[in-house]
């Protein structure tokens, strides 16, 4: 299965390209592990795990299509995160091919290790093969 997150880094400086590759490698090394989750900001596509703020970058193809382009570190954000972790989550990478036309989806989920709640899901939803769509869905828990 092809990787929908491949980025050609067109137009980036070598320093920017190096930083994005380093952030992707770092985040990739965390897949399957448990980390502290401090929250996410869907308006800025940022999230905080283990005190590190990551930004998910959309790679726009044209005016209608978009893919998840890269994961990068960021210090330049306006997001507000919790001071202490709100959950312990496991990072899961998913490749979903539901069979049939336009069913290839790839991304990551941050799943609560205590109750299985999906706090965050981001990636590419290729729902009809013609209009893939970048997704970044933060789902807080309902108050009890």
The answer to whether position 1 is within a domain reads no
Is 144 contained in some domain? no
| Helix ranges (DSSP H) in 3-112 | 14-30
Q: Residue 5: inside a domain, yes or no?
A: no
In this structure, what DSSP letter does residue 113 have?
A: T
| Assigned domain for 37 exists | yes
The b-or-e profile of 14-53 (16+ CB within 10 A means b, else e) is eeebebbeebbeebeebeeeebebbbbbeebbbbbbeeeb
Q: What is the pLDDT of residue 2?
A: 42
In a domain, 31, yes or no: yes
pLDDT in the model for residue 18: 77
What residue numbers bound the domain in which 27 lies?
Answer: 14-138
Instruction: Give domain status of residue 95, yes or no.
Output: yes
The one-digit pLDDT tens for each residue of the chain (144 residues) are: 344 455 555 556 677 777 777 877 888 888 999 999 999 999 889 999 999 899 888 776 665 667 777 787 887 778 889 999 999 999 998 876 655 444 557 889 999 999 999 999 998 887 666 677 888 999 998 876
Two tokens, residue 140:
């807080």
Number of domains in the chain: 1
pTM: 0.80
């Amino acid at each position: 299965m092809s990787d929908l997150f491949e980025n050609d880094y067109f137009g980036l400086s070598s320093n920017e390209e190096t930083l994005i590759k380093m952030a992707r490698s770092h985040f990739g090394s965390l897949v399957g592990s448990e980390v502290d989750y401090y929250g996410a900001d869907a308006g800025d596509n940022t999230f905080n795990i283990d005190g590190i703020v990551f930004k998910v970058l959309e790679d726009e193809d044209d005016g209608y299509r978009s893919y998840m382009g890269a994961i990068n570190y960021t210090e330049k954000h306006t997001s507000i995160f919790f001071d202490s972790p709100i959950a312990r989550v496991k990072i899961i990478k998913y490749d979903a091919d539901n069979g049939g036309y336009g069913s290839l989806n790839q991304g990551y989920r941050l799943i609560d290790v205590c109750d299985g709640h999906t706090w965050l899901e981001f990636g590419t939803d290729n729902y009809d093969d013609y209009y893939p769509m970048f997704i970044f869905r933060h789902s807080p828990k309902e108050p009890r």
